[in-house]
A and B are shown apart, each in its own frame.
Chain A
Amino acid sequence: MNSPKSLIPAWQTRLFAVSVFVLAISGLGQMPLFKRYYIADIPGLAWTADFFVQHVLHYVAAAVFLALVAYWAVIHLRVLSRTCRITLWGRLRVAAVAALIGSGFFRVLKNLPEWSFSPEAVMLIGWSHLAAALLFGVLALLARVSGNSAYVTPRFPE
C-alpha cells in the first residue's frame, strides 16, 4: 500500500523541520531584536544582527520549504488522498502555511524593483506575513503538546 511513510521518507520531514526552524530564526532576525537583546553579543552569533545575512537565509530556507510543500501537496492530491485524509489540526496548519506562502509571495514581489504597492498594501503584506507566521507557530505548538501533530490519518484504519 502507498502509506504516508513509504511516500514521505523521514529525511523529508526532518528537512522540513530544519527549514521551518531557519525560517523562524531568520524571520525573527528581520526585526532589530537580536542586537537589542544581546543575542548578537554571544560569541559566534554576531551574524544574527546582520540583516543581509538573515535576508539571504530566509530566502534559501523558503526555497527548501516551498519545494517540500509543493511536493507533498502533489503527492497528497495524486496518491495519498485515496487512502488518507487530512486531520483537523492538519487542515488548520495547512491554512496557516497557505497564508504564509501567499503573503510571502507578495513580499518577495514587493522587493523587486519592478513592483510597487500602495502604503496600505505594503503594510497589509508585512502584517499578514507576520500574523500568518505567528498563527503557524502557535498551531504547531498546540498540535504537538496536544498529541495531534500528524497531518494525515488513514481513511480506513486497519
Chain B
Amino acid sequence: MHDVKDGAVARPSTLSRRTFLKTAGVVGAAAVLPMNAGSVGAAGRPEELATVLDISQCIGCGACVEACREINGHKHPKPEKPFPEMFPKRVQAEDWTERRFTDDRLTPFNWLYIQTAAGEWNGKPFELHIPRRCLHCQNPPCANLCPWGAALRQADGIVRINEKICLGGGKCRDVCPWEIPQRQTGVGLYLDLMPRIAGNGVMYKCDRCYQRVAQGHEPACIEVCPMHIQHIGPRSEMLELARKLAADMDGYVYGAEENGGANTFYVSPVPFDVLNATLQTGPGRPHLKPVQDVMAKAENLTWALVAAPLAGIAAGLLTGARAMAQKESGHE
C-alpha cells in the first residue's frame, strides 16, 4: 500500500524546509483544512509530516540530543517522592530522577539518543550514528490500543502521549514494536486516583516538538543539526527524498514499510540488518529489524463491525416480514 517505486525522481531542491513550513502552518492553524494540491493526501486532508534522516552524514556530535532536552525540558517529569507503595509487590517503580542525565538510551528525560553501529560490510569497515526516537507510525499501536485515551495521533501524523491523563500502565511500550515510550513513576493522574492498585506514573517519548511544529518551526533536533541530516515535510515528498538519497548512495531505507509505514525514514549506505546485528539493543535501545504491521489484523476486522449490524438488520427485516405474513394468513 505504501509502496513507492524506486527510480529516477528529480531531487526536490531545498524542498523540505519550504514545504514543511507551509504544511506545518496550515496543519497547526486548522487541522482539517485542505492545503495546496501537492500536500493533500488521497483522503482530501492534509498529508502527514514525515522526517528523513540521512545517517551517512551524522557525525554523532549529540547536538540534537542536547537540543531535545533543552527545548522539551519543561515537559520532563517532576515526580513527587516518596512514591506511593504499589500493589501487588511485583509492580516496580521506575525512577529516572537520579539518572536524569543518562543519554545513551531512551528515558523519560531523554527522548532521543545516538546509537552507534560499527562493523564491516562488503569488505569495508563502517561506523554509523543513528539518532533514535519514536518513529511516529502511521497506524500507531501505542495510540490505537491506549485504553484511557492518553496516547493519540494528530492529523499531522504526530503521535504523542497526553501527560495530563496518562496513568503510566505502560501498555504503549508493550505494544510498540520498538518499545519506545519510557516510564517515570510518581508523577501524573494516577496519584489522584488509586495509586496503590492502578497506574504507575506517566509514559514519555518524542512528541516531535508538536508545539513548535504547530507554530511553523522545525523540531529542535532538526534545526540544530550542524550536518543537516534531517529533513521534514509532507510524507510523500519525504519518501521520495529518502528513496532518492538511498538511490544516490546505493543504500537502503528503513521506516517506509515498517509497522505498516512510519513517518520516519532512515537512509543508510549499509543494509539495516547488518547495522542491527552490530547494535547494542535492549530496554530503551531499539532495534532496526524489519517489523510487520501489528495493527493489520484488527484493522481488517473493521469491515466485520460494519457488516455485522447490516446482516442483523437484513435478518430482522426478513424474519419480521415472515412473521407478519404468517399472522395475516391466519396461522400461528
Contact = CB atoms under 8 A, between A and B. Distances in A.
B324 interface: yes
A73 interface: yes
B323 A2 contact: yes
B3 interface: no
Contact of B304 (A2, A38, A59, A70): A59
A60 B309 contact: no
Contacts, number: 140
A31 B323 contact: no
B171 A63 contact: no
A125 B149 contact: yes
**Could you say which interface size class chain B belongs to?**
35 or more
B319 interface: yes
Contact of B320 (A32, A52, A79, A126): A79
Contact of A122 (B43, B149, B169, B170): B149
Interface residues of A, number: 48
Interface string B313-332: 10111011101101100001
A74 interface: yes
A99 interface: no
B6 interface: no
Given A36-B90, A63-B301, A108-B302, A78 B317 contact: yes
Contacts of A70: 308-313, 316
A68 interface: yes
A104 B307 CA distance: 15
A64 B315 CA distance: 13
B170 A32 contact: yes
B288 interface: no
Interface stretch (A109-117, A134-142, A144-152): A109-117
A48 B154 CA distance: 30
Contacts of B198: 31, 33
B316 A36 contact: no
Contacts of A78: 316-317, 320-321, 324
A69 B312 contact: yes
A90 to B, nearest CB: 17
A42 interface: no
Contacts of B146: 126
A67 B297 contact: no
A64 B308 contact: yes
Contacts of B175: 51-52
B153 interface: yes
A84 interface: no
Nearest to B198: A33
A116 B155 contact: yes
Interface of A: 1-2, 7, 30-33, 36-38, 51-52, 55-56, 59-60, 62-64, 66-75, 78-79, 108, 110-114, 116-119, 122-127, 130
Interface of B: 31, 43, 88, 90-91, 138-139, 144-150, 152-155, 162, 165, 169-171, 174-175, 198, 260, 294-295, 297-299, 301-302, 304-305, 307-313, 315-317, 319-321, 323-324, 326-327, 332
Q: Which 10 A-B pairs have the closest CB atoms?
A: A74-B316, A126-B149, A70-B312, A78-B320, A71-B312, A63-B308, A70-B309, A67-B312, A32-B169, A67-B308
